[in-house]
Copies of this chain bind each other. A is one copy, B any other.
Amino acid sequence: MTTKTLQDLYIHSLSDIYSAEKQMTKSLPKMARASTNPGLRSAFEAHLEETQGQIGRIDQVVEAGGIKLKRIKCVAMEGLIEEGLEQIDEIEKGPVLDTALIAAAQKVEHYEIAAYGSLIALAKQLGETDAVKLLGDTLKEEKATDEKLSLLAEEKQAAEALGK
């Protein structure tokens, strides 16, 4: 029993999302390279840059709170990424793979939306106001990325319906 208090759970959750974000920095370039749609490719590239900033925010939270992160691997993100990369192996480059990549990326974004939502609730309860602000900025970015991906899926559909 290494997790006894809410503070322990907070550190565990921060360590988990840190691992998740680090894994994303490795898989986003692969997803960008596999995309045919230029808008999708640039969305992945932009999100990679954003992810680096989000890791920087976790570093700030850790430093300000005098926290030592645990070296754990986020197995949930591992599964999500595995699912996305499998699609790259199984589907030829083109509109179908692009649709699959958008779906895979939205699953990842929703994982992060849930993870940051819970982390912010914990930070509030622990009175970590700077962390609430920093993690809140990241949560806004994750939601915006999810919306951007939904729009890309709709635009793709409309273009394909017109036979473009």
A90 adjacent to B2 (CB under 8 Å): yes
The secondary structure that dominates the A interface is helix
Chain A residues numbered 114-164 whose CB sits less than 8 Å from any CB in chain B? 114-115, 117-118, 121-122, 124-125, 146, 150, 153-154, 157, 160-161
A46 interface residue (CB < 8 Å to B): no
Residues of B within 8 A of A125 (CB): 157, 160-161
Q: Contacting A1 at CB < 8 Å: which of B92, B107, B146?
A: B92
Q: Contacting A107 at CB < 8 Å: which of B4, B111, B124, B150?
A: B111
Residues of B within 8 A of A6 (CB): 96, 99
A32 interface residue (CB < 8 Å to B): no
Q: Contacting A9 at CB < 8 Å: which of B4, B96, B157, B160?
A: B96
B109 adjacent to A3 (CB under 8 Å): no
Known: A103-B118, A110-B111, A115-B107. A83 touches B91 (CB 8 A): no
Q: Known pairs A5-B96, A110-B113, A121-B154. 16 more at Cβ < 8 A?
A: A3-B91, A4-B96, A6-B99, A8-B96, A9-B99, A9-B100, A13-B103, A16-B83, A75-B79, A76-B83, A76-B107, A107-B111, A107-B118, A110-B114, A117-B150, A125-B160
